Amino acid sequence: MRLIVARCSVEYQGRLGARLAPAVRLVLLKADGSIAVHSDAKAYKPLNWMNPPCTIVHTNDLITASTPKGETLVIELHEVFADVDHVLGNDPGLEKDGDESELQKLLAAQVNALRGDLVLVKREYPTDIGPIDLLCTDGEGRTIVVEIKRVGEIAGVEQLIRYQERLDRDSRFAPTIGMFVAQRFKPQARVFAESRGIECVEIDLARLRGDVDDLTLF
């Protein structure tokens, strides 16, 4: 990765024209062929950029990036304060903590954490509109359709309702009971779910993992 801190002006020509007046900015040229111009504001979002595939040419005080579609990004360097190259190497990628797949695996192995009388029938039970996260039965033999999200929102409730409607067409499962599981719920989603007879269960990821010791000494 090459990092250039410079007073520069920028001009883009493509589907439309755009210009940045001279100012001190950070120019990033990455090994993947992308180029981005950042200011000391706007958080992570660049002021202008170009994604690969593009051709980048640095001549004198100009950096020109062009694409096969005819787009060009021209950066004129008026005064360079820093110009540094770093080899970052291969990145192992982002590991998400507590994503829906992990929650689903943990709950499949311990459905009693949701309710003491639940028995798992199948994880990712297939339907013609997608797999149900967990299909369970309760102590009374009723079918429990479980939808798992990190954050419980209205879209998740609607998804669960669609799964229930599909299974309710089959006499082996009907009538089903919905259970919406999340680490936290949006208030509107909880109200909507409960209005449709769906039970909302909030779970603690640390407890599911066994990271919390419930024993206390008095």
Which pLDDT does position 94 carry in this prediction?
62
- The residue type at 202: E
Q: Residues 88, 1: contact at Cβ < 8 Å?
A: yes
How would you write the pLDDT of the chain (218 residues) with one tens digit per residue? 999 999 999 999 998 899 999 999 999 999 889 999 999 987 788 999 999 999 999 988 999 999 999 999 999 999 999 999 999 888 877 665 557 888 999 999 999 999 999 999 999 999 999 999 999 999 999 999 999 999 999 999 999 999 999 999 999 999 999 999 999 999 999 999 999 999 999 998 888 888 655 544 44
Domains and CATH numbers, the chain: 2-85 (2.70.180.20), 100-209 (3.40.1350.10)
d(CA 54, CA 10): 17
Which pLDDT does position 96 carry in this prediction?
58
| H-assigned helices in 58-153 | 100-109
Which pLDDT does position 8 carry in this prediction?
97
Q: What's the burial of 53, exposed, middle or buried (CB within 10 Å: 0-12/13-18/19+)?
A: exposed
| H-assigned helices in the chain | 100-109, 154-167, 187-195, 205-209
